[in-house]
Structure 1
């Protein structure tokens, strides 16, 4: 297994905060030295202050228009959606949007993409909330369309835009990761991540692809992975193959203390 340097990402969840707070936190995160800056692709808050998923109310902002603003206001960090929902936009349009943000950012976009899961987003915005199987089928059909559209656009993307796919379904999602992704985003305890990475390796081998070509990302705070401090969670996840560690925070008060701890650990690990 190739040992990649540790990278730290922040998923800045655009809920319960006004845009001035979001813009200020983006600037602070870049100044602190974060490697990547993500948002999510929802239309409503998905929790009330860190609790379980609810029909939460409160301030919220749209993913891609905000990413374009971040691309202008930052200069160094990679940025992207974690993850955009394939079902919300025509795949060719999504490819064009990603290409545009890639140019605005001078080549710093990561296209994170998945099949979506939050029924409220679908239903209140008029999208069909199909079965898990159907949504994954649609994602499988969309990914080649996105890649083809990038080859047709003028100007083309600034470089081959990295694709991040989130999810860990062994029969449907991981084959898509093996075929299309540069980054795989996963959740769970280190032992589960290690198991899923071995399964991903089997899918890569079937395609003649090197598993080490795919960077492994994991949520370490503010997501489904049980939260932990870097000293207790970082090394086991690193041993499982993770090199991109993603800290999630939501508004209204963006507490960057967990991010600072993970950045300190990154610097110690990387020497």
Structure 2
């Protein structure tokens, strides 16, 4: 169990919808009381028409930083392979200022071969992409420390992924938030691995907020009153609902926000 309050995130998937619909949905979600709005860092839809409408991650985050006023914002997650680490740090610092301190820097090693290939990035094997990710994280931290003006706050770093030997070790070393898409039994195992990595590094695992997808993936759908308490008992405090375009039905988000309010009192 965690002492952190329950928070609800929305992954507003930027596919199959025009930008005005995306912006309006972000505004509606903020009015409903969501805590975090994420998008994702892909160049093409992940399902439905593979060549359907789609928009880029970071330019959208900058725009949403202007069109919202309260929610935290971030990519779930930014692909390390698409941008120089120093540039990514500068982009994050800039959106941090535009949003007046509401950015979460979600980042991972990337996995979608089509994104890499069609945009001219080499698609290396998993191990090579993870090794490059490991080299990039200290460079991002170093650049953030030297930017002028500096970030408005210590930008929270969210790492996505659940590989037990490498990714979770990077979470233990660098992350403020860890995000996964797991059922409760799998999550319990992954958290034990993460705690072992934290122990090896001398870090208190309670410093890392646990985020988990709860809607928007075929294996992670369940009613809040059933799934929420099971994940909460494991230490999850950020519950993220994924919503697909073009119509963005926010009914599941409303259900999770209602459950959050019942838990936080």
TM-score w.r.t. length of structure 2:
0.98
2:138 to 144, 149, 165: 144
1:46 is displaced (CA, Å) by: 0.7
- C-alpha distance in structure 2 between counterparts of 1:250 and 1:134, whole Å: 31
Report if aligned partners of 1:194, 1:241 keep a CA contact under 8 Å in 2.
no
CA distance in 2, matches of 1:36, 1:220: 14
The structure 2 residue matched to 1:248, chosen from 242, 255, 260, is 242
1:154-233 matches, within 5 Å, as 154-223=148-217, 225-233=219-227
Give, in angstroms, the shift of residue 223 of structure 1: 2.8
Unaligned runs of 5+ in 1: 49-54
Q: Does the alignment pair 1:58 with 2:41?
A: no
Q: Identify the residue that residue 39 of structure 1 maps to in structure 2.
A: 39
CA RMSD of aligned residues (A): 0.9
Per the normalisation by structure 1, the TM-score is 0.96
Whole-angstrom CA distance in 1 between matches of 2:31 and 2:3: 26
How many pairs align? 265
Query: 8 Å contact 1:13–1:40 — kept in the other structure?
Result: yes
Runs (4+) of structure 1 moved beyond 6 Å? none
CA contact (8 A) 2:2 2:233 kept: no
1:166-201 per-position Cα deviation (integer Å, ceiling 9, x unaligned): 111110000000000000001111011111111101
Give the C-alpha shift of residue 250 in structure 1. 1.0
1: CA distance between counterparts of 2:230 and 2:55?
Answer: 35
Offset at residue 225 of structure 1 (A): 4.1
Q: Is the 8 A contact 1:191 1:240 kept in 2?
A: no
Shift of 1:226: 2.3
Q: List gaps (5 residues or longer) in structure 2.
A: none
